[in-house]
Amino acid sequence: EVQLVESGGGLVQPGGSLRLSCAASGFPFSSYGMSWVRQAPGKGLEWVSAINTGGGGTNYADSVKGRFTISRDNAKNTLYLQMNSLKPEDTAVYYCAKTNTGWVYDYWGQGTQVTVSS
């Protein structure tokens, strides 16, 4: 079965950095695009970033552009999100999501909590 397991979340001060990881299994990882989506307390889901199969094509929400970097290591079946210059408004549960050939989310991880606070 498809499994996506996020890790790397935690508490960080404003201006700090954190790297999230998503370990994928149960499908040919390198054949699918991947995304990061987040949900802040009391808010709906917000798309954060997406990456194509080879890792050379990336897109970001305006709110994180220039601060976050999405990447993948297909040999390790792992997706990453490097988060720099973190702001309190980045506080959310971050989810790794598999996308199908139409770039629609079809599988999700359990999420990892990121809290940005002084």
pLDDT digits (tens, 9 = 90+) for 54-66: 999 999 999 999 9
| Residue 30, pLDDT score | 97
Summarize the confidence of residues 83-94 as an average pLDDT. Answer: 98
Q: End-to-end CA distance of the chain, in Å?
A: 40
| Residue 56, pLDDT score | 97
Q: Is residue 43 exposed (0-12), middle (13-18) or buried (19+ Cβ within 10 Å)?
A: exposed
Taking only the tens place, the pLDDT of each residue in 94-103 is 999 999 988 8
φ/ψ of residue 52, rounded to 5: -80, 180
Taking only the tens place, the pLDDT of each residue in 8-58 is 999 999 999 999 999 999 999 999 999 999 999 999 999 999 999 999 999
> pLDDT at residue 78 above 90?
yes
Summarize the confidence of residues 105-111 as an average pLDDT. Answer: 96
